[in-house]
Amino acid sequence: MALTTINIYVLWRKAKPSVIIKTVSEPTSGMKGYERLKVLKNDEKLVISMIARSGGTILQKELTAITKLPGYKITRILNRLEGLGVISRKNTA
């Protein structure tokens, strides 16, 4: 009984809702487009290029698989890009 409870808990914790990431066409912050790109790090540029290659919309878990970056790093990159107004995210669940 205890193993079943633990297994269900572990499976439940791993099941995260999918997040759709879209590029933002209109700037939401005071920076212009080229100014925002100047402050980006290499990993952030990689993520943006993967989003662009997918037509401007991609799931967060797909980004993790394509870039081979750890999930926590993708989350941090997406948080920064969202803060800069480069992307927007939406939960699918």
Ordered structural domains, the chain, with CATH? 17-91 (1.10.10)
Task: Specify the pTM.
Answer: 0.67
Quick: pLDDT tens for 42-73: 999 999 989 989 888 899 999 999 999 999 99
Residue percentage of the chain with pLDDT more than 70: 59
Tell me which residue has tokens 């439940």: 12
Burial group, residue 86, by CB count within 10 angstroms (0-12, 13-18, 19+): buried
